[in-house]
Structure 1
């Protein structure tokens, strides 16, 4: 260790120590360094193993999730097709019912005319047309909502 004295005009003489760090003693630090290095390597290996396991778990989870999403999409698609078929069937039944009711109303009107009675079914026909339009509008709205993703 080298010491150097400097003079400061405003204060008393100061002693400044200029030295370089002592070189490590190889016989004392070598076992500590190797032990520390070994512990660090073990810790690193454990962390890498944990990271690898987490990646494997994540890949497994993603695979299971993708499979489940695909199953749900297929089920949803099947339900949607079934629902659309049922809606279409109800529309056909409604049209058939409408045709049957119109035919019956025409038959009643013809019977009343043949008996010489007055036909008041004109007002009821108009009411039925308005009701039919409302039902068809509702069905159209419901189908539009079903078609949305």
Structure 2
């Protein structure tokens, strides 16, 4: 037991939850900004899971993978001309680029809160599936806040 390392990976349940929610929201006509928050959350969850599978120290870093995924996703949206429209802005920023960037930060905040709560609780979780609930819960809260404040 002394040689066992702690695992901080995002579980597949988290990935499926974010992915399913994102697809459903887009089909229901939800605003690009809100969908982008969830796409970025999915990318970050995948990056944290994938980092546990990669042996290379650089590419096995979940933060680096998350930023790379953000770059690849934004590149796709830019090259397919889904960004840059003056009518698709929030606070003067493109909704997709802003949503993707903020979604990454929100998901990282959820992971930070999960890890900090474990430290404060003597290395133990507060409740089952805490690792899933904190990032998704924080993302839901921010989604609702932006939906209500900006009427998206």
The answer, yes or no, to whether TM exceeds 0.5 is: no
User: Which TM-score applies when normalising by structure 2?
Assistant: 0.25
Higher strand fraction: Structure 1 or Structure 2? 1
Structure (1/2) with the larger helix percentage: 1
- TM-score under structure 1 normalisation? 0.25
Structure possessing the higher radius of gyration over alpha carbons: 1
